[in-house]
Amino acid sequence: MEEQRPRAADDFATIRARMEEITESRPRAADDFATIRARLTELRRERERAETAAHSTREERPDEPRWLVSVKRRGFSEF
């Protein structure tokens, strides 16, 4: 006869202890507002740099249509 594995529900105390151990050792993301705020600021600056670079590219070739600049930036070399 085949040996039956214990059900997870039968070992609830061990599972609960492990879950408490995990949650105590790791801070919740929602509690780390300073890190979240710093990351959002970093992303905002990256976006501003990218927009500035896009505008400088646009100024180099003012005769080129805006859609063509976008297509070339995505890597379509046939244009």
Q: Considering the domain boundaries, does residue 5 fall inside one?
A: no
Contact 26, 19 (CB under 8 A): no
Q: What is the pLDDT of residues 25-64, one digit of tens each?
A: 776 666 778 888 999 999 999 999 888 887 665 555 666 6
Q: Considering the domain boundaries, does residue 6 fall inside one?
A: no
- Tell me which residue range forms the domain holding 53: 29-79
Q: Considering the domain boundaries, does residue 34 fall inside one?
A: yes
Residue 5, classed as helix, strand or coil, is: coil
Exposure string of 42-55, with b = 16+ CB inside 10 Å and e = fewer, is eeeeeeeeeeeeee
Q: Considering the domain boundaries, does residue 14 fall inside one?
A: no
Q: How many domains does the chain have?
A: 1
What is the arithmetic mean of pLDDT over 15-27? 81
In one-letter notation, the amino acid at residue 70 is S
pTM: 0.37
